A and B are shown apart, each in its own frame.
Chain A
Amino acid sequence: MKFALIAACAATLAAQAFQQRGYLDLRTTFFPQTAANDSGRVIADTLLRYEVSAKLTPWFKLNGAIDARTDTHRQTERSGRFDWQDRGFLRPALSFRRFSAVAFKGPVTFEIGKQFIRWGKADILNPLDRFAPRDFLNVIDNEFLGVLAARLTIEKGPHTLDIVLQPRFTPSRTPLLNQRWVVLPPDLQIPLPLSQGAPQLPGGVQTGARWNYLGKGYEMALAFYEGHNHLPQVDARFIPGRIELFNRFAPMRMYGGAGAVPLQWFTVKGEGAFFSSKSADNYLLYVLQLERTIGEWTLVGGYSGEHVTDKKTLRDFAPDRGLARAFLFRASLAIDTARSVSGEAAIRQNGQGAWLKSEYTQTLSTHWQARASVTLIRGGADDFLGQYRRNSHAILAMRYSF
């Protein structure tokens, strides 16, 4: 009986379509300047990422991904526990980046579990990405976090309807108080030491729906979200002997839309959303960009704007709005199959802040790839980008892919 079961399992495993990929990333970041709360100039990061998917039947698939990481700057937990939520201050040393089951039949796809949900069509800034919290420990070089959700997608002809239910909230990971990406105003007089308190994570369910339409020569989408902002408002409370800062996540409702129209000379992409909240700002955030390929160059240029209709928030951490009222640029060149260069920039329309990044990538062999990038940040202390002007940095990285 036991043998028959093992044989049946083996047969199932052999029959399934199994795919795997992953990489080991070794990265060193150099900061030429120290910051008021951070004397570190060099940070080394190591990340091992392994992704696997198994199609068990013609209509059912399992996806999984694990991360194992460490660094020299106490940005990663030192415990060996396996994290599945990604809700802590620090990056977990071992975590499930993704685990989900996908069932699909005809035009219907249903995915449940930890997954990535991207709704935006634009580059650099995506107001529609409400189910896409990020790890902002390094504000500029951030990456997406998975969310625990159920997602039903129905694609019928040119129409796609996406309905998402996220029963457990995943916040964006914000910079650490004792590190350079938290910049306190230089004239701030605080009689007591500051500490980072536990965030007030909301309960309840986040819900959203998106309808996408592929027209003849254009593409458009409408989206709705009701839940909490994954980016926090920062609040303070007095604790004997110290002041504790903590994150709160305001409820919000979003009505948004996006479109892409390939024209003869440019592809026009636009994305915008209106956000309303009882306890946070009400505002419109939008981005309009033009994209063009010329030979091996891909060029993107655009503008991101914001219009606040009701100002309520005193202090928040909002990198998306921090990129608003700015001109955005991206350029990439595929030199050949092994080498590429790219550049990105955000320049505030009032000239008070600028972020420029350039990157060179070279494939060294079938498995090894080298990257070098330089990020320059300039601006005034009152500007979201400008406040990080001492955080310009260079990165050297090697990646072994398998």
Chain B
Amino acid sequence: MSKWIIAVLSAAAVAQDARQIVEESQKRNRSNTQQYEGVLQVFNPNGKNTEKRWQFFRSGNYGESKALLRFVNPPEVKGVALLIVNHPDRASDQWMWLPELQRDRRVALQDRSTRFFGTDFSYEDLEERDVNQSDFKLLGEETIEGHACWKIEATPKKGKSSQYNKVVSWLRKDIYYPVQYEMYAKNQLVRKLHYRRVEKVSGVWSALEMEMFDIRRKGRTVLKSDKLQYNIPLKDELFTLQSLRRGE
């Protein structure tokens, strides 16, 4: 009986550790604002690749952030913009601005597994998730690309919707920053995300390159961040529907 209690208590302690690690990771890499110019390269299974460029602005943090993403290239999508308002307790609200139609349109995302503009990122992958939306479990420690890492499993809390039934992440022990993620749907590996060119920018560890693999499609998308800046003044008005319409 006492052994069983000890086992339960130690399991609880390990779970607490995993959550604390994730919380510490989010705390260390917290920034009030973020701005970068992104280059998305989508490689289809047949080897063809397409490139899209955007400007990205974020204000706020996990669970309560607002983001504005505006395409600047290729010409056919130039001006198309997406406003994302994240909520700690429910799925994000998203609106898309279509300059050719001169109207904004609420994006209906019952299925957030939908690929974002044909890339290997899904809309859900672009959301910033609050630590309270998942349960965490420390699976162990592994060395990835020469870095000692914690291997942590996150599962959505009861009542929280996600396309993934679990996400396994590897966090570097030295800087509390992720190296890679594996996303599972119905316990099948469906996506892998690698963080590359990890550098400290304005005091915040950042991956200047991310590579997402879609296992089922056999496609991959590389997202490169250029002119990355943190904690710069961004007005609240930038993250409104009016700003979306004005094309700022």
How near does chain B come to A392, taking the closest CB pair, in angstroms? 25
- A295–B103 CB distance below 8 A: no
List the A side residues contacting B113 at CB < 8 Å: 295
- Is A144 in the interface zone, CB < 8 Å from B? yes
Interface string of A109-125 (1 = CB under 8 A from B): 10000001010110000
Interface status of A233 (Cβ within 8 A of chain B): no
B75 part of interface (Cβ distance < 8 Å): yes
Whether B114 lies near A296 (C-beta < 8 A) is: yes
Decide: A109 and B242 in contact? CB cutoff 8 A.
yes
Query: Which chain B positions have C-beta within 8 A of A61?
Result: 246
The B-contacting residues of A in range 345-402, CB under 8 angstroms, are: 363, 366-367, 369, 399, 401-402
Give the number of chain B interface residues (Cβ < 8 Å).
38
User: Which residues, 282 to 316 on A, are CB-close (under 8 Å) to B?
Assistant: 291-296, 298
B237 within 8 A of A: yes
Number of interface residues of A (CB under 8 A): 50
Q: Name the contact of B106 in the complex, choosing from A53, A219, A266 (C-beta under 8 A).
A: A219
A344 is an interface residue with CB less than 8 A from chain B? no
Query: With contacts A109-B246, A337-B119 known, is A367 near B74, CB below 8 A?
Result: yes
B115 touches A334 (CB 8 A): yes
| B102 contacts across to A, CB distance below 8 A | 116, 118, 144
* Residues A292 and B247 in contact, CB atoms below 8 Å apart: no
In the complex, the number of residue pairs spanning A and B with C-beta atoms less than 8 Å apart equals 104
The distance in angstroms between the C-alpha atoms of A118 and B100, with both chains bound, is 12
* Known A-B contacts A155-B240, A160-B242; A293 and B110 likewise in contact (beta carbons under 8 Å): yes
Q: Which B residues are in CB contact (< 8 Å) with A160?
A: 241-242
CB contacts (< 8 Å) of B42 on chain A: these are: 336-337
Instruction: With both chains docked as a complex, state the minimum distance between the C-beta of A163 and any C-beta of chain B, in angstroms.
Output: 14
Render B91-127 as a binary contact track against A, CB cut-off 8 A, 1 for contact.
1010000010111001011110111011100000000
Tell whether B178 is near chain A: CB-to-CB under 8 Å: no
Chain B residues closer than 8 Å to A399, beta-carbon distance: 76
Cβ of B173 within 8 Å of any chain A Cβ, yes or no, is: no
Is A267 an interface residue when CB atoms closer than 8 A count as contact? yes
> Smallest Cβ distance from B200 to chain A, in angstroms?
30
Give every chain A residue within 8 A of B50 (Cβ-Cβ). 337-338, 363
User: Does A189 make an interface contact (CB < 8 A)?
Assistant: no
Q: Which of B75, B109, B247 has the most CB of A within 10 A?
A: B75
In the complex where A262-B110, A267-B106, A293-B109 touch, is A366 in contact with B118 (Cβ < 8 A)?
no
Please classify the interface of chain A as helix (H, G, I), strand (E, B), loop, or mixed, using the class held by over half of its residues.
Answer: strand
Is the beta-carbon distance between B79 and A262 smaller than 8 angstroms?
Answer: no
Chain A residues with CB under 8 Å of B51's CB are: 366
Q: Mark A252-280, 1 if CB is under 8 A from B, else 0.
A: 00000000101111110100000000000
- Nearest-neighbor residue (CB-CB) of A144 within chain B: B102
A51: nearest residue on chain B (CB-CB)?
B99
Does chain B have a CB within 8 A of A19? yes
User: CB within 8 Å of A: which of B160-184?
Assistant: 161
Contact flag A267-B78 (CB < 8 Å), given A21-B99, A155-B241, A295-B114: no
Residues in A whose Cβ lies below 8 Å from that of B103? 118, 120
- Chain A neighbourhood of B52, CB < 8 A: 337
* A219, A337, A367 — most chain B CB neighbours (10 Å): A337
CB distance from A19 to the nearest CB of B (A): 7
Q: Which residue of A lies closest to B106 (CB)?
A: A260
Contact (Cβ within 8 A) B110 A292: yes
Closest to A266 in B: B110
Specify which chain B residues have a CB less than 8 angstroms from the CB of A245 in the assembled complex: none
CB pair A337–B118 under 8 Å, yes or no, is yes
| A217 & B90 in contact (Cβ 8 Å cutoff) | yes
Sample (14) of A-B pairs whose CB atoms are under 8 Å apart: A53-B247, A61-B246, A102-B246, A144-B101, A153-B242, A263-B110, A293-B110, A293-B111, A295-B111, A336-B118, A338-B48, A338-B118, A366-B51, A369-B76
Q: Which A residues have a C-beta under 8 Å from some C-beta of B?
A: 19, 21, 23, 51, 53, 55, 61, 102, 104, 106-107, 109, 116, 118, 120-121, 144, 153, 155, 160, 214, 217, 219, 260, 262-267, 269, 291-296, 298, 334-338, 363, 366-367, 369, 399, 401-402
Q: A155-B242, A295-B114, A363-B50 are in contact. List 14 more A-B contacts (CB 8 A).
A: A116-B102, A144-B102, A217-B90, A219-B106, A262-B106, A264-B110, A267-B110, A292-B111, A293-B108, A293-B109, A334-B117, A335-B118, A337-B44, A402-B75
